[in-house]
A and B are shown apart, each in its own frame.
Chain A
Amino acid sequence: QSWVGVGSRDEEPGRTGLAHFFEHLMFVGTERFPPGEFDRELEAIGAEFNAATWTDWTQYYATFRSKELERVLELEADRFANLALGEAQIASEREVVISERRDRVDDDVNGKAGELLFRLAFRKHGYGHPTIGWMKDIRRYDRTGCRAFAKRHYRPGRAALVVAGKLDAQHTLELVQAHYGGLTRARKRPRLRRPEPAQRRERRVTTTLPAEAEKLLIGYKAPAITERDWRVLAVAGDLLLGGRSGSLYRELVLDAELATSAYGSLTPFEQPGLYEVGLSMRPGQSAETALGRVDAAMARLADHGPSQDALERAKARSELALLSSAGGVSGRAEQVGFDVTVLGQPLSLDARIDAYRSVSATDVQRAARAYFRASGRSVVVVKPEPS
């Protein structure tokens, strides 16, 4: 896997979505491997491969038989150094990304509501614009802009190569040196900094979309993943919305039957992000009523903390999730790539599990008080269009 420390938060206004667009361009070819050849070469060895971009990083992955490592390194190193950006490929890929945006956002109620939430929560920081970019910006991508982007961000100091599997470490390092050794060390440029001013009042937007029932999205300002509080808040969120035994999930979906589905999600961002709560209401049920229940549940957690039983259950769920993600070789590589890119160093599985085990009921209560505050949240209420 190749991880590059560039994501949508690094994009300037007017050039949003460029990190994601460039990820697409990384597949268009080089002088040595003309358009289509990269895909064909990897498919011919049976590799599963693709890429992903988010706020802080761009990831390219390939999973394949160990004996094919040298061929993959050759292809990967070549595209990092010699990407050929033709106008025709840029024009065609632009259409593909427009189609992707329409599919995932413009014609998708949940995609649109999510985009609104982040725009509302982050007024200055790059987390406020969508990773796929605004449509008007996507339409303007050109070769000059793409080249400038690559020159600035695709540099050895910003990238990490992760190789995981049944391999001889020394031989692997020799292969990496042989294929990447020609790259020149480049000065590590600082990333764009646009700190988000502190939020002091609730922000709320009500919008009408082609939904069948109301929806409620809430984003509470949350710590960066590099802070200890991130794990504490992850446990707090799990106590509320971590599956069917989460207290808030049970209340809203199973007992009071207000919502069809409910989720809680803490952004794994390098800088302060959001704890996001999303509810799809049952037909005829109001998001406003659900918001009252959310407030009450969070107040209970902040006032009384969790019971020891509930806390132990949340920790057991976290342990299971961590072990499950470490089952396959690609999951392990992904964890290392993420850690190196976002946290600065890889963490062992045991250290990760211990970090969750060390969270106490007092920690959870303190985090709930600090982060689940109405003054630090943004709220999107979606009302169905009149039929």
Chain B
Amino acid sequence: MSRPVEITTPGGLSLVYEQARALPLTDFVLVWRSGAVADGEHAGATRLLARLLRRGPRGLTPARVDETLSSLGARLSIVTARESVRVYGSVLARNTGAFLSLLGRLLCEPALRAKDLARERRRILGELSEEREDDGTLAERHHRAHMFGTHAYGRPIGGHEKSVRGVRRETLQTLHARHYRKGNLFFGISSPHPSAELVAQLDDAFAGAPSGKRALPRLQSLRHRPGRRVRIVQRSGRNQCQLAVGTLGAAKGDPARTALIVGDYAFGGLFSSPLVQEVRGARGWSYSAQSVLRLGQARESWTFWTHPQADRAAACAALELELMERLVACGPSAEDLQLAKRYLIGSRALDIDTAARRTELALEARYEGKPLDWPHGYEGRIRGVKRKAIQEAFERCIDPAAARITAVGDAKLLAQAFEKLPGVTHVEVVQP
């Protein structure tokens, strides 16, 4: 199996590249050090900027951009995450040069036209309104606000109506100038074309990117606040509720990062794991049940997601809290741990079965400041995790007594039962 290589181009760009001969297709990814944490007081500004980049550079209308991409047989998406912006593209290999050239113009010379800003703003406001229809999206948004409050992690990536209305063209120009720098751009390409050809095309396309780099704002790490708090997001006429039970978790740089990842899988990442077995297998309470461990630059979260019937929601939350307490006190069972490790090691083959996937993994490592071959040490790191290390990591990072519970559903059916949950100090009902 071939492996990605790292190239610093003569123009000073960082590229991870692997030649891929299986299909006449070029896959492209750019991880840009930016993201919603850079929004400051203008929640949603980075996402709005990403949308406007897609609308074209000076001298090219949005319609022309879309038509050009289509005629090249290309797909392009710009995704704003919390701590990065990711540009994904695929193009028929014969059109790779033209695609890179267009992409360079989109990112280096954005027009950021006032007319386009007004249009995108109206569109995002429509989408924010539509998001209120979806209980899962509402649960995610409210749970983050419940957990993180005014911290940058508590702000929605897309912003909210007031903040989006307040974003000015100058805000976007400043954001672009501050973060769009060569040292903040990490390119990954898998393609049938040889690297020399791509390097020349990439340098040519991105020659206009200013040099230098800019770190993301340093985020404060939150501490647990004691007491279990419940937030009910009122939705009348619902048969069931979207339920999130979680606590603050850990940062990417936590020394026990691998132990936490393995522990999360052992607890709620597999069909056979205790969370899924207890909630879905034994009781049939929720079609889906899973735990999600997020790791950020600062301390992130650990959350269990289920959607039980309203009259079982409090019982489901109680069961999840009990399982959380047990994990923190005792760690996973030897059997659950063994299974999670075997799964994580065995399934790795599926993460590296195409050049595009291998390239993205290597690129991710570089973005995090790790060596290019960091992904190759994966199996050894997983194998080395001990049960005791997991228990200690969860005991240090997770506090079940400070859990935050968010339920989207009918408060009339939910509130009383949640008030009776052990350790609950506060129940509030909010509007979506």
Contact = CB atoms under 8 A, between A and B. Distances in A.
Nearest to A255: B63
Interface string B261-292: 00000000011100001001111111110000
A107 B238 contact: yes
Interface stretch (B126-134, B387-395, B420-428): B126-134
Contact of B356 (A43, A64, A244, A327): A327
A304 interface: no
Interface string A92-118: 111111011011001111100000000
B66 A92 contact: no
Interface string B22-38: 11110000000000000
A283 B126 contact: yes
Given A254-B62, A317-B73, A96 B346 contact: no
A154 B277 CA distance: 27
A381 to B, nearest CB: 16
B307 A64 contact: no
A99 B287 contact: yes
Interface in B281-306: 281-288
B309 interface: yes
A99 B339 contact: no
A328 interface: yes
Contacts of B133: 109-110, 210-212
Contacts of B342: 43-46
A363 interface: no
Interface string B51-72: 0000000000011001101111
B350 interface: yes
A103 B281 contact: no
A183 interface: no
A46 B132 contact: no
Contacts of A68: 346
B271 A65 contact: no
Contacts, number: 165
A312 B72 CA distance: 10
B308 A99 contact: yes
A258 to B, nearest CB: 10
B84 interface: no
Given A109-B133, A212-B129, A319-B92, A102 B240 contact: yes
B378 interface: no
Given A245-B67, A316-B71, A213 B129 contact: yes
Range class of the A interface residue count: 35 or more
A166 to B, nearest CB: 10
A97 B287 contact: yes
Interface in A250-303: 250, 253-254, 257, 260-261, 280, 282-283
Contact of A320 (B67, B90, B126, B240): B90
B271 A43 contact: yes
A323 B92 contact: yes
A320 B75 contact: yes
A316 B73 contact: yes
Contact of B272 (A36, A211, A282): A36
B315 to A, nearest CB: 14
B272 A63 contact: no
A47 B347 contact: yes
A316 B72 contact: yes
Nearest to A316: B73
Nearest to A103: B307
A96 B130 contact: no
B362 interface: no
B374 interface: no
Contact of A95 (B63, B69, B71, B285): B285
Given A102-B309, A212-B132, A282 B345 contact: no
Given A44-B339, A243-B70, A283-B126, A36 B62 contact: no
B239 A107 contact: yes
Contact of B67 (A45, A211, A313): A313
Interface string A31-60: 000011001100111111000000000000
Contacts of A109: 133
Nearest to B270: A43
A168 interface: no
A43 B266 CA distance: 11
A40 B74 CA distance: 41
Contacts of B126: 213, 260, 282-283
Contacts of A100: 287
Contacts of A81: none
A253 to B, nearest CB: 8
A92 B133 CA distance: 29
A328 B345 contact: no
Given A95-B285, A109-B133, A245-B66, A47 B71 contact: no
Interface string A62-105: 01110010000000000000000000000111111101101100
A320 B287 contact: no
B357 to A, nearest CB: 8
Interface in A298-343: 309, 312-314, 316-317, 319-320, 323-324, 326-329
Given A316-B70, A320-B75, A99 B284 contact: yes
A45 B287 contact: no
A100 B284 CA distance: 10
Contact of A244 (B66, B271, B308): B66
Contact of A92 (B129, B132, B284): B284
Contacts of A64: 346, 349-350
Given A107-B238, A320-B92, A327-B356, A95 B284 contact: yes
Given A27-B271, A65-B346, 5 more contacts: A92-B282, A95-B284, A243-B75, A257-B119, A320-B92
Closest 6 CB pairs of A and B: A46-B346, A95-B284, A316-B73, A46-B347, A100-B287, A313-B70
Interface of A: 27, 35-36, 39-40, 43-48, 63-65, 68, 91-97, 99-100, 102-103, 106-110, 210-213, 243-245, 250, 253-254, 257, 260-261, 280, 282-283, 309, 312-314, 316-317, 319-320, 323-324, 326-329
9 contacts: A35-B281, A36-B281, A43-B272, A92-B284, A103-B287, A213-B129, A250-B66, A316-B71, A323-B23
